A and B are shown apart, each in its own frame.
Chain A
Amino acid sequence: MGTRTEIYATFVMTIVSEEDMTRIIWPSSPSSNGWKTGVNTLDGRPNGNALTTDETDGAHNSSFHVLEIHGPYWHGWSQTHPAVNGPLNQTIFEKDIFPPSFHEDIQVGPEFSNTFVSKRVWW
């Protein structure tokens, strides 16, 4: 709120939520902060209140929890025969990623902070 994109909250998504309150709505892609008011925090559906966004700057707040991220952006690459949209250099595939590494000390469950990974792409 208070930014030049607040029209998406005050007008665009407000109209969307008024038309269909059964749909989950989200302020941007990605949105680090999500909605401040206007949705049920359990499922993200509109609750009839005014839609407002949280403008906390996570980059300068170590305790800030990011709600949504994009990526990882992995690119297929050729040393000898490049193709359109290929990356400039070899990237993730230099790493030893097989098998995956899991962590035993991660707290999981809906009672803990979590992150939505959207736009999981590979380019």
Chain B
Amino acid sequence: MSAFLDPQNFGIHGFDDPDVCRNEYGNLNSCNGTNVWAERNYPCDSLVKKVFGASEDDLDDIGVSALQRQLYQCMMSQALLMKTEIERQRSTNSFGSLIWQLNENWPTGGWGVLEYGTDLPGQVIGGRWKPLMYFLKQHLFKDVIIACGNSFLCFVKNDGSDTLRGYINVDVLSYNTGESIFSLQIPIVIEGFGKVGEFATRSRLRKQIRIHKPSHFLNRIFQVTP
């Protein structure tokens, strides 16, 4: 983006007055003004606020480091919110999920998984992967998915054709420090073709929480690996 953008606009709000945008057919389709950031699809403000707790001042910041922070938070917010929704959907009896569209040149509050695709310096022909694309490959669109959600409820789903035999490693990490608080290893045998198992890790996790300090779990991150 820096190849095209005037440094005075290095901020996700563009360091400029907002455009006036009108609704023509459902969304704010027509924007008029001088703010260069208004011409990208979809703002990212609501995502960054939701995931990182950013303020309006944070989004008004300008400069190289400010823009790098804002864009990083924008793309990670997109990936984490989409991860949440896809994990929820795969916990149901759904046998297919398709993301449309594939690419989206700007860093936005949109759904594209590839960015710029030209041969300009710093870009990758065909499109650099956004964080969400890595999430899809590593986790969300794998045949076997494991996820933990509200109330310590976890599941593993096997959409492959072969029976899955092995162990799930559950690491509960401190939200503040990233340190491991405790780990569980759970043996699993799950048939293929969409079978789900191990919804019942909740009771085991709760038992561990009683053993350890409950305050550690108020803000928790689960890290699960097959």
Contacts and interface: CB of A to CB of B under 8 A. Distances in A.
Interface in A58-105: 72, 74-88, 90, 93, 97-104
B150 A116 contact: no
B39 A76 contact: no
A85 B96 contact: no
Chain A at the B interface: SS class? loop
B176 interface: no
Interface string B13-52: 1100011010100011111000101111111111101110
A117 B97 contact: yes
Contacts of A84: 21, 28-31, 38-42
Nearest to A105: B199
B109 A76 contact: yes
Interface stretch (B114-122, B164-172, B177-185, B188-196): B188-196
Interface residues of B, number: 66
A103 to B, nearest CB: 7
Contact of A83 (B31, B85, B157): B31
Given A98-B84, A100-B147, A81 B35 contact: yes
Contacts of A11: none
B221 to A, nearest CB: 9
Interface residues of A, number: 43
A11 B10 CA distance: 53
A107 interface: yes
B148 to A, nearest CB: 7
A121 B19 CA distance: 25
Contact of B43 (A76, A97, A115): A76
A83 B38 CA distance: 4
28 contacts: A74-B111, A80-B13, A82-B43, A83-B43, A83-B108, A84-B40, A86-B27, A87-B27, A88-B27, A93-B49, A93-B81, A97-B84, A99-B149, A101-B88, A102-B149, A102-B199, A108-B194, A109-B194, A114-B194, A117-B89, A117-B97, A117-B98, A118-B96, A118-B97, A119-B100, A120-B97, A120-B111, A122-B82
